[in-house]
């Protein structure tokens, strides 16, 4: 059996052999591997860039109190960035699925259009959800814009949903039943914190505090970025505070504390910070 | 350069791409005119190349143009270039001037190439040359590059540094001119004599020797190039699987057209799912299956959804593989439906009356307030409409309550997840909240008909609410200057207008457009739609125009009644005669600029015929009017024709209407006007009838 940890090891091994630097997860709460600086900053600018990494991902509104076999507020993505995107990138991807142990001939593989967009990052691209027997297992995107900047060269982002792919490898239909190792299940590791976080995110969190945090994080990011575009600012710390505002916004959203009207305003505030981070970063490039 | 005439050849061009957006392709191929073909024909035309037949097919992975019987060379084209005024070009002795010879030399032309022709009323010397006719094979590169670059899709992307854009990356090109491969180059791509086929997610390359070999390779690999044929195949397979379960397919035309562009080599499968999910509303089940997994639902003979799904697969699949796929799909389905159950539970925790308050934060249309304001407007409008329609007290009560609750479901999680379930969820949640069934139904019917094939609302309150919802949208859009243009109708106003009219007609509502809309422009827009709707229903366009130019033209149901009554007699001789009477009087009145007297004065008559026409008018006026009031248009029209057709023919032959004496003339015109009005103000304006003229 391919254990959950084997899947990660096999993907890392595969992409390392294809010339990727295998990085480690980013140590802040993020909603997707795209937020990792290796993707956000890596896709900007002209330099070639090939990386792969696992990214634990937080999406508070997707929580189901551990009650849904496919949806959780915390899960793992495996993220690959290839810049520039190679001509055979689709084949590289399909080969990676074979490399982790999937017999693709036994499945219905489909590339279903997806006009991907991250409104908080001001990022967009075209690509697909890759479906295996009608389940989305990967987001496959040719980035066109990051933080509002048109990209050149184009990066290809491959984001694997690790739990879902592992379900196919292990023949399970509930992610909590996955074997992480021979003796340990995914549920043993994550079920309790899934339930606790859902209760916190949906029912218990202090929205007044979260509102305050949003303001504080935003103010600090702004302070770091300065008033004018500049090559000399502390871009990475500013970006970290941007990520914090994004997560706090997601937490508020999970509590239903953001009205439909306010939503776009909050998102625009985060995006504005991200955009200024990207701008200062580009200015700082040699 | 002379090219001997060559045999016609076929041309093939394939754009091999990564999976193209299915909905974009579906949009293109569901149109009666395939824009991909039209564009190519236009480009061929501008290159002066004749083709017997141009066909463009598409699958998710290729767009293929096939040109049959293509001419070997461009059509010749004569080019005339004006060079010099004749008097400067030739001397009095008729010899060419120095100036002309210099110009010709510069232009690389001989005297023999010149002709004299007129321009701006003066004779000029022109150089007449035949533009060299290039060989088609040499032009294909340019033609297909232009074609590829002008194919328009809603969203394009870049994937390399060539500057080329397309909806998804292009990975191969192939082009044949007859048996000759054309190595055209577009961006970084060079056409090769090979085709890629996906088989079980593996890319197989086949060398292509010629055009028939190309078609053969695709056929051998089960690929159906033609979207029409592929859709038919899928449809038949789904029907077969449905029948095998004693069921029929849950109708979803959008899903079928999309799936058609998700597969090249379609196959189907059918499998059961857990009965426990049947407690979800049928619409939730089928929408989740369609949107989340592109699965088709089944309904039994009673129209109830069954615990079974159908899937369309791509590529040949063994029974063993199908078993694995089915098991996985069923597992996914369970997770997705569990999610829907979660939404349903969450949504029913707060009643709609509470949710409704949050509508204040939801924008209806920029500049037209919030959804809460719209919701309040709907309640107010319901009051008036209930009065106008004379709704029964129970229906009025249901309408007011439904209008109050109508928009609240926009804030539920289920509608957030599946926006197309708006209204439908409102119905189910109203029931959960213990609202009356009439209220729930009306809430559920407020968006009907969503598309042309949909039924109209079935309940009186539902019909009224649906009508008001759309009328409010129309009024708001027209007020904000968002009326549709000939090509763009982003708010679906034409569809909304037609829906309103259909509801009025079906329910025979005694409503006038003036009562519904204050805006005159909107009233005219509605009349345009009414004309389109009635002609769609089979009425002659000129008859509808005649009715719309006649009395009561803002009463929608009355207009349709009148159009129907006139249509019944439209083939009769007396109808034609009545038309003639109206037409001739209208024509003569057109020339008049004077103000005519209200009353005809018999004392001013100078001709016997005038008197006789007037006597007729007096004698038949009331009879015609009474018949018209009773809507006996047959009697009214035949009386009218009988009284005036012969005598007016004689009148126009013998009486000179535009008499020199102004009083006599005005009195005559007033008489004719009275005759005309007798018909046009009581029945319809027959001068619009074209068939007999």
pLDDT tens across B454-471, in order?
A: 899 999 999 999 999 999
Give the integer Cα–Cα distance in Å for A285 and B37. 47
Percent residues over pLDDT 90 in chain A: 95
| Cβ <8 Å between B328 and A144 | no
Query: What's the confidence (pLDDT) of residue A65?
Result: 94
End-to-end C-alpha distance for chain A, whole angstroms? 48
Residue scoring higher pLDDT (A263 or A8): A8
Model confidence at B1, in pLDDT bands (50, 70, 90)? Answer: very low
What pLDDT does residue B691 have?
67
Say yes or no for a CB contact (<8 Å) between A69 and B167. no
The CA-to-CA distance between both ends of chain B, in Å, stands at 57
**Complete domains list, chain A, with CATH:** 4-200 (3.30.930.10), 206-284 (1.20.58.180)
Angle ∠(B477,B482,B484) on CA atoms, nearest 5: 105
- pLDDT of the residue at B692: 54
- Asked whether residue A260 carries a pLDDT value surpassing 80, the answer given is no
Does CATH number 1.10.3680 belong to domain B9-73+135-220? Answer: no
Residue of chain B whose Cα is closest to the Cα of A134: B293
The shares of helix, strand and coil residues in chain B, as percent rounded to the nearest 5, are: 55, 15, 30
pLDDT tens string B621-667: 999 999 999 999 999 999 999 999 999 999 999 988 888 898 999 99
Supply B62's token pair.
């290729």
Give how far B424 is from chain A: nearest CA, Å. 21
Query: What is the mean predicted confidence (pLDDT) over B111-115?
Result: 87
Q: Using CA atoms, how far apart are residues B461 and B442, in angstroms rounded to an integer?
A: 6
Cβ neighbours of B21 in A, within 8 Å: 113, 115
Q: Which of A105, A111, A260 sits opposite B200 (nearest CB)?
A: A105
Residues of A in contact with B23 (CB under 8 A): 113
- pLDDT, mean of residues B92-118: 87
Q: In chain B, which segments carry CATH 1.10.730?
A: 572-688
B347 and A CB contact within 8 Å: no
* A86 secondary structure, DSSP code: P
Mean pLDDT across B513-538: 94
Q: Percent of chain B scored above 70 by pLDDT?
A: 99
The encoded tokens of residue B555 equal 């009463």
- Tell which B residues from 155 to 184 touch A, by Cβ distance under 8 Å: 155, 157-161, 167-169, 171
CA angle B329, B335, B339 (to 5 degrees): 140
Contact state of B60 with A144 under an 8 Å Cβ cutoff: no
- Residue B406 banded pLDDT, cuts 50, 70, 90: very high
Residue range B607-622, pLDDT digits in tens: 999 999 999 999 999 9
Tracing tokens 């009666």 back to the chain, one arrives at: B32
**Contact between A179 and A12 (Cβ < 8 Å):** no
pLDDT at B2 over 50: no
B18 and chain A: CB distance < 8 Å anywhere? yes
Mean pLDDT of B535-540: 94
Do B267 and B312 contact (CB within 8 A), yes or no? yes
**Residue B592 pLDDT:** 86
Q: Is B289 within 8 Å of chain A by CB?
A: no
User: Where in the sequence of chain B do the CATH 3.30.70 domains occur?
Assistant: 9-73+135-220
Q: Which runs of consecutive H residues, i.e. helices, occur in A199-286? A: 207-225, 235-254, 263-284
pLDDT exceeds 70 at position B4: no
Neighbours of B346 (CB within 10 A): 13
Note the pLDDT of residue B6.
65
Q: What dotted CATH number matches B572-688?
A: 1.10.730
User: Model confidence over A186-216: pLDDT tens digits?
Assistant: 999 999 999 999 999 999 999 999 999 999 9
More confidently predicted of B297 and B451:
B297
Do B363 and A261 lie within an 8 Å CB cutoff?
A: yes
Hey, is the C-beta of B485 within 8 angstroms of any chain A C-beta? no
């Amino acid at each position: 059996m391919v254990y959950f940890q084997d899947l990660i090891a096999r993907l890392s091994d595969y992409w390392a052999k294809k010339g990727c630097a295998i990085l480690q997860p980013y140590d802040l709460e993020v909603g997707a591997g795209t937020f990792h600086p290796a993707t956000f900053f890596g896709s900007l600018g002209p330099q070639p860039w090939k990386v792969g990494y696992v990214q634990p991902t937080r999406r508070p509104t997707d929580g189901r109190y551990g009650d849904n076999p496919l949806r959780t507020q915390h899960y793992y993505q495996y993220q690959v960035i290839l810049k520039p995107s190679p001509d055979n990138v689709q084949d590289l991807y399909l080969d990676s699925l074979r490399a982790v142990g999937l017999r693709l001939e036994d499945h219905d593989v489909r590339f279903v259009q997806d006009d991907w967009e991250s409104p908080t990052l001001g990022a967009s691209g075209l690509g697909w959800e890759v479906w295996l027997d009608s389940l989305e297992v990967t987001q496959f995107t040719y980035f066109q814009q990051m933080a509002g900047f048109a990209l050149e060269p184009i990066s290809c982002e491959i984001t694997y949903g690790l739990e879902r792919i592992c379900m196919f490898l292990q023949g399970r239909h509930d992610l909590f039943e996955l074997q992480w190792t021979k003796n340990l299940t995914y549920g043993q590791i994550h079920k309790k914190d899934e339930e606790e976080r859902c209760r916190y995110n949906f029912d218990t969190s202090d929205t007044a505090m979260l509102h305050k945090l949003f303001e504080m994080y935003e103010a600090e990011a702004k302070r770091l970025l300065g008033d004018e575009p500049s090559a000399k600012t502390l871009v990475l710390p500013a970006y970290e505070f941007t990520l914090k505002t994004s997560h706090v916004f997601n937490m508020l959203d999970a509590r239903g504390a953001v009205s439909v009207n306010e939503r776009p305003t909050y998102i625009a505030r985060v995006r504005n910070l991200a955009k200024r981070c990207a701008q200062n970063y580009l200015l700082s490039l040699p | 350069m002379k090219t001997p005439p060559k045999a016609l050849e076929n041309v093939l061009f394939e754009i091999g791409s990564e999976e193209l957006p299915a909905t974009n392709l579906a949009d293109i191929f569901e149109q009666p005119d395939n824009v991909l073909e039209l564009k190519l024909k236009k480009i061929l035309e501008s290159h002066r190349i004749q083709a017997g037949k141009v066909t463009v097919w598409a699958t998710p992975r290729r767009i293929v143009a096939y040109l049959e019987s293509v001419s070997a060379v461009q059509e010749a084209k004569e080019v005339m270039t004006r060079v010099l005024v004749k008097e400067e070009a030739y001397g009095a002795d008729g010899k060419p001037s120095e100036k002309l010879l210099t110009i010709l030399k510069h232009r690389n032309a001989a005297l023999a190439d010149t002709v004299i022709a007129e321009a701006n009323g003066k004779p000029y010397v022109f150089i007449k040359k035949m533009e060299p006719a290039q060989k088609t094979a040499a032009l294909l590169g340019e033609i297909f590059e232009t074609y590829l670059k002008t194919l328009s899709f809603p969203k394009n992307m870049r994937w390399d540094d060539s500057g080329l854009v397309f909806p998804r990356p292009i990975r191969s090109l192939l082009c044949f001119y007859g048996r000759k491969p054309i190595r055209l180059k577009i961006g970084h791509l060079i056409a090769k004599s090979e085709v890629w086929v996906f088989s079980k997610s593996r890319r197989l390359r086949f060398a292509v020797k010629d055009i028939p070999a190309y078609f053969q390779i695709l056929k051998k690999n089960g690929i159906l190039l033609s979207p029409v044929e592929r859709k038919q195949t899928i449809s038949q397979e789904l029907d077969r699987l449905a029948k095998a379960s004693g069921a029929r397919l849950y109708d979803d035309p959008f899903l079928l057209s999309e799936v058609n562009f998700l597969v090249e080599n379609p196959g189907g499968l059918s499998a059961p799912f857990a009965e426990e999910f049947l407690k979800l509303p049928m619409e939730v089940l089928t929408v989740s299956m369609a949107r989340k997994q592109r699965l088709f639902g089944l309904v039994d003979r009673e129209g109830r959804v069954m615990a079974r799904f159908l899937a369309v697969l791509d590529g040949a699949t063994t029974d063993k593989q199908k078993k694995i796929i089915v098991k996985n799909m069923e597992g996914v389905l369970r997770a997705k439906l569990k999610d829907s159950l979660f939404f349903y539970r969450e949504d029913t925790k707060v009643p709609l009356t509470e949710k409704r308050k949050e509508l204040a934060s939801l924008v209806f249309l920029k500049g037209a307030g919030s959804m809460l304001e719209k919701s309040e407007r709907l309640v107010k409008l319901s009051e008036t409409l209930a009065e106008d329609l004379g709704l029964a007290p129970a229906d009025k009560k249901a309408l007011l309550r439904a209008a109050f609750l109508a928009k609240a479901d926009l804030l539920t999680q289920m509608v957030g997840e599946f926006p197309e379930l708006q209204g439908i969820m409102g119905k189910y949640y109203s029931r959960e909240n213990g609202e009356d069934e009439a209220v729930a139904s009306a809430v559920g019917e407020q968006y009907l008909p969503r598309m042309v094939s949909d039924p109209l609302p079935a309940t009186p309150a539902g019909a009224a609410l649906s009508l008001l919802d759309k009328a409010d949208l129309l009024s708001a859009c027209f007020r904000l200057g968002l009326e549709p243009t000939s090509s763009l109708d982003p708010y679906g106003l034409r569809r909304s207008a037609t829906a309103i009219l259909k509801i009025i007609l079906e329910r025979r509502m005694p409503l006038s457009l003036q009562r519904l809309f204050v805006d005159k422009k909107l009233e005219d827009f509605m009349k345009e739609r009414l004309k389109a709707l009635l002609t769609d229903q089979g009425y002659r366009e000129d008859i509808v125009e005649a009715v719309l130019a006649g009395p009561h033209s803002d009463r929608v149901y009355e207009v349709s009644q009148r159009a129907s009554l006139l249509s019944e007699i439209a083939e009769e001789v007396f109808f034609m005669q009545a038309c003639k009477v109206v037409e001739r009087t209208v024509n003569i009145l057109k020339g008049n600029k004077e103000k005519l007297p209200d009353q005809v004065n018999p004392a001013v008559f100078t001709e016997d015929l005038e008197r006789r026409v007037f006597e007729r008018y007096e004698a038949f006026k009331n009879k015609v009017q009474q018949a018209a009031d009773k809507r006996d248009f047959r009697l009214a029209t035949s009386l009218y024709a009988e009284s005036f057709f012969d005598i007016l023919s004689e009148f126009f032959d013998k009486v000179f209407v535009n008499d020199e004496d102004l009083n006599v003339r005005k009195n005559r015109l007033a008489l004719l006007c009275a005759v005309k009005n007798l018909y046009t103000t009581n029945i319809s304006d027959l001068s619009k009838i074209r068939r007999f003229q």
